[in-house]
Amino acid sequence: MQPDNAFLKKHLKNPIFHLISETADVMNMPCYIIGGYVRDIFLKRESKDIDIVTLGSGIELATALTEKLGKKANLSVFKNFGTAQVKYKNLEVEFVGARRESYNRDSRKPIVENGTLADDQNRRDFTINALAICLNQSHFGELTDPFGGINDLKDKIIRTPLDSDITFSDDPLRMMRAIRFATQLGFTIENNTFQAISRNKERIHIISKERIIDELNKIISSEHPSTGFLLLDKCGLLPLIFPELDALKGIETRGGRGHKDNFYHTLTVLDNLSAHSNNLWLRWAAIFHDIAKPVTKRYDEKLGWTFHNHNFIGAKMIPGIFRKMKLPLNEKMKYVQRLVELHMRPIILAEDIVTDSAVRRLLFDAGDDIDDLMTLCEADITSKNKEKVKRFLDNFAIVRQKLKEIEEKDRIRNMQPPISGEEIMRIFNLTPCRMVGDIKASIKEAILDGIIPNERDAAYKYMLEYAESIGIKPID
């Protein structure tokens, strides 16, 4: 499968390519588009990131192009890496001189020398990323495909251009990239390439946690993220980069009673949720929702296997795991914690009679995350019993309707009690003390229990009655 020149020229109509061509020809510099942009032409995927490799100085070519483009272009030069980036309209064009690379075993940072186009293609991670299109006018639109990348695209194969063991040992991040591309594109990793990942998996330890989590986030953001986690498990990388998820694997049986494999259950929940939401952090919540089950697992002769408080303990585990994996320790982490801690509440509601009081409390605790929480809980129903699944989902629909009705009526979401602590101190001539908190809490509980509406007058009257019951009177 070799595309004709007309096919590629049709995809090079953007004026930027002809401007690069003219600039390179004036400077007598052979110049090519290489890598992901070329790959995505054949995959019919839109790409705004263009990598240009030239036989010469990429910085000089980028500088000359920027002068030609004028004030609308923005040039960034990275002398230490020998690269330059030109931002123009909605495009980002990266320039680098062709190079050959060699590696020391204890580092993924290469020793770089000037090279030929062939040298540059040899150093690429996969055949589908080694495709190059010439931009010089004399060969404009001609494809160079030394490793059969076009056929691998047609056959949906991820394969390294050269010896896979050397490729992955030199730069172990490529192992994560192989799995990421396979997950994103729905491709298969060629057998020898996959076996090399298994053989070189321990090399992942020289890669920074930040680079690993970047690839992991891309896997999680894909259409079917379970594919990536299954590949990470199969090649042996999973316990090295995410041991807490790996610990969910397996089924234990006692007295003829077993529990479900929580690893496969988690991946099913993740895929279920991904069909309804692109929210990366909600997907992380799906991954973490049962993370504490291995440490809370107990066997009871009467009850069978139990995982008491796994939601609360899981929420407490999250900061340590986020810190270790270099995930953000900010509101995104707190959001994941909140969903993990609350994920059992709607399920309990769906199993029982849905009372207004329980719905008010759920609304109050979940706040603006209530819709995401319900989406997570609906994804968590993975039973193979179709009748059970239907019953739960029908009950969740009732819970959602109740949430809507009570929110419209009582305005509980993100509720602040109608009377503040400062007012309570002023009304009863109190200094900051536990009693102020008790009065304020009693008002909140009365609203959540439906004893009084979420209104100031009702709250004020209730406050006076409660205060009198504990022997306190207002100053006037």
**Structure confidence by residue, pLDDT tens digits, 217-262:** 999 999 999 999 999 999 999 999 999 999 999 988 887 787 889 9
Residue type, 16: I
Q: Are residues 76 and 141 in the same domain?
A: yes
Say whether 223 sits in a helix, a strand or coil. coil
Distance CA(57)–CA(95), nearest Å, equals 9
Do both 237 and 147 map to the same domain?
no
Residue 118 sits in the same domain as residue 181: no
Q: Say yes or no: 141 and 210 in one domain.
A: no
Structure tokens at 66: 């920027």
Condensed to tens digits (0 to 9), the pLDDT of residues 301-338 reads 888 888 999 999 999 999 999 999 999 999 999 999 99
**What does the radius of gyration of the chain's CA atoms come to, in whole angstroms?**
30
Fill in the amino acid letter for 373.
L
Residue 15 lies in a domain: yes
416 pLDDT higher than 90: no
Cα(303)–Cα(292) distance, rounded to whole angstroms?
19
Task: For residue 187, give the DSSP letter.
Answer: -
Same domain, 56 and 91: yes
Q: Is residue 301 part of a domain?
A: no
pLDDT at residue number 61: 95
Same domain as 113, residue 54: yes
Domain membership flag for residue 39: yes
Find the domain containing 224 and state its range.
Answer: 156-241
Indicate whether 176 and 195 sit together in one domain: yes
Of the listed ranges 132-141, 261-270, 395-404, the one predicted with least confidence? 395-404
Q: Is the pLDDT of residue 64 over 70?
A: yes
Dihedral over Cα of 469, 474, 475, 476: its sign: negative
Single residue among 133, 152, 171 that ends a domain in this structure? 152
Q: Mention every residue, 6+ apart, whose C-beta is less than 8 A from residue 390.
A: none
Q: Give me the residue label for tokens 């408080």.
A: 309
Whether residue 166 sits in one domain with residue 148: no
Domain boundary (109, 134, 152) is at: 152
Per the listing, tokens 């129903």 go with 381
CATH of residue 201: 1.10.110.30
* pLDDT of 49 over the 80 cut: yes
Number of domains in the chain: 3
Coil vs helix vs strand at 394 = helix
> Is residue 169 included in any domain, yes or no?
yes
Mean pLDDT of 85-103: 87
